[in-house]
Structure 1
Amino acid sequence: MPAHEFKASEYAKFDSVNAWIETSLVKQDASLASCLEANATAQLEDIDVAPNEGKFHYLLAKMNKVKRVLEIGTLGGYSAIWFAKAVAPVGGKVITLEFEPEHAKVARSNIANAGFADVVEVRVGKALDTLKKMREDGEEGFDYVFIDADKSNNAGYLKYALEFAHVGTVIVVDNVVRQGKVLEDKDAHSEGQRKAFEFLKGEKRVECTALQTVGPKGWDGFAVAMVVE
């Protein structure tokens, strides 16, 4: 059996353990549950972070006393709401970038329903173009950057993340394992993740690692970096 394939019984066990973790430790309030329901109703792809992963980002942001978050890849706003909960109510700001106007529309509605319309700003367009404009406008000072968009451009997103960062900024890149395909496939997403790792490996300004995960959405993982100079 290839390394990236699991039996159905193994996936069922992943789901059961994940459900136990979430019911035991993750308090998902009505706004978060409503967000996922609205995303499903709008027929958005089911690729939001899992609730326990959302809580992980929330805790990581709280631990680092994060005030400004840059998120690349909004979808329906689920992870943006987790970030908003971490940075609010004392002057926090989340800027999240989304390519699809319809996704942004759903996200803005979900964010407003959660009470964070003044905290979260959704910007629409190609992320690299938006990031370039932000740089030209002199925007900087993000404490946390979450990269969860098209994987083919991850190295470019990381370069901008460092331009907007300062010593201590946390950068998280999602979906870096992709069922093990990152080692095998030659598709743009896998190649993009490999280029991202090559960039991080050669970047002296960060210290980083990556973790593999299993859960309802299969075998995946994320990279975590911290700006050190």
Structure 2
Amino acid sequence: MSRQQPKATGPEDWKRSDQYHNSFLHSPDPILDAVLKHSTDSGLPEIAVSAAQGKFLSLLASSIGAKKILEVGTLGGYGLIISLYSTIWLARALPADGELITLEYNEKHAKGTTRWSRCTPDTPFDLIFIDADKPSNVNYFTEAKRLVRKGGVIIVDNVVRFGRVADPEYSDANVEGVRALLRALKDDADVAATTIATVGDKGYDGFVYAIRK
């Protein structure tokens, strides 16, 4: 009897899979639903993390006992309208005395990294989640290493981008930002890192998971 070959899958299959698993592993959440609706109604781009990704971030923060978290890229910039979707997921993992700082900057990104470089916390962060403009990935990651504790975790989102990062025939500013980060990580003795590819509501993408040595 021949083995059945797996069928090719696409975005609709990935979305259906996320919805199926979430139906078992996620409870209804009117607060997060309202945040997403407000973001959409306000005209923000639909680029927030998926529900599964948000819960992963929350579980990760809980698993390392994070008490201090930095998020780079709140999602916003249209006046005072912002989306706190991933922020809420991360905040829910914190203890009562925990702290979360989230940053959003809607001008030239180089200026944003300059302002961030002035940040010197009294105690280092346990977890840093980077989900900001991709061309500045190396700048963000360099600052994250300075701000995270030894043994702390740095997550950089959107590093697979439908496989385009690995396609030598394809180039745009976001892809080149990811490639620059990967080149920087290759010989970076300060961290141990890997990429985890994902498929789901947000298509085919992935994130870098790094631990500060």
TM-score (norm 1): 0.80
Aligned to 2:114: 129
Alpha-carbon displacement from aligned partner over 1:154-195 (angstroms, at most 9, x marks no partner): 011010001001211100010001011112322111111011
Report the secondary structure of 2:197's partner residue. strand
- Alpha-carbon offset, residue 133 of structure 1: 2.0
Runs of 4+ in structure 1 off by over 4 angstroms are none
Aligned to 1:118: none
How far apart, in 2, do the equivalents of 1:191 and 1:152 lie?
7
Aligned to 1:171: 154
- Alpha-carbon offset, residue 100 of structure 1: 3.1
CA contact (8 A) 1:211 1:223 kept: yes
Q: Aligned pair 1:215/2:200, yes or no?
A: yes
Aligned to 2:99: 93
- Alpha-carbon offset, residue 224 of structure 1: 0.2
Cα RMSD of the aligned pairs, angstroms, is: 2.0
**1:32-43 mapped onto 2 (5 Å cutoff):** 32-43=32-43
How far apart, in 2, do the equivalents of 1:126 and 1:216 lie?
32
CA contact (8 A) 2:35 2:85 kept: yes
CA contact (8 A) 1:140 1:163 kept: no
How far apart, in 1, do the equivalents of 2:149 and 2:50 lie?
28
Percent of aligned pairs with the same amino acid: 37
Q: Aligned pair 1:83/2:93, yes or no?
A: no
Alpha-carbon displacement from aligned partner over 1:116-165 (angstroms, at most 9, x marks no partner): xxxxxxxxx95302312214xx5551000101000000011010001001
User: Which structure dedicates a bigger proportion of its chain to strand?
Assistant: 2
Q: Aligned pair 1:193/2:178, yes or no?
A: yes
How far apart, in 1, do the equivalents of 2:187 and 2:164 lie?
22
Gap regions ≥5 residues in structure 1: 1-6, 102-124
**1:1-229 mapped onto 2 (5 Å cutoff):** 10-75=10-75, 76-89=83-96, 91-100=97-106, 126-135=111-120, 138=121, 140-184=123-167, 185-228=170-213
- Relative to structure 1, the CA distance from residue 92 to residue 222 in structure 2 (aligned partners, 3 Å threshold; closer, same or farther) is same
- Alpha-carbon offset, residue 9 of structure 1: 6.7
How far apart, in 1, do the equivalents of 2:27 and 2:36 lie?
14
Letter in 2 for 1:95: I
- Relative to structure 1, the CA distance from residue 41 to residue 14 in structure 2 (aligned partners, 3 Å threshold; closer, same or farther) is same
- Alpha-carbon offset, residue 8 of structure 1: 10
Q: How many residues align?
A: 196
How far apart, in 2, do the equivalents of 1:126 and 1:25 lie?
41
- Relative to structure 1, the CA distance from residue 163 to residue 140 in structure 2 (aligned partners, 3 Å threshold; closer, same or farther) is farther
Report the secondary structure of 1:87's partner residue. coil
- Alpha-carbon offset, residue 27 of structure 1: 2.8
How far apart, in 2, do the equivalents of 1:156 and 1:28 lie?
38
Gap regions ≥5 residues in structure 2: 1-6, 76-82
TM-score (norm 2): 0.86
Report the secondary structure of 2:44's partner residue. coil
How far apart, in 2, do the equivalents of 1:224 and 1:177 lie?
13
CA contact (8 A) 2:15 2:203 kept: no
How far apart, in 1, do the equivalents of 2:27 and 2:59 lie?
12
Aligned to 2:79: none
How far apart, in 1, do the equivalents of 2:100 and 2:194 lie?
24
Higher relative contact order (CA 8 A, sep 6+): 2
User: Which structure dedicates a bigger proportion of its chain to helix?
Assistant: 1
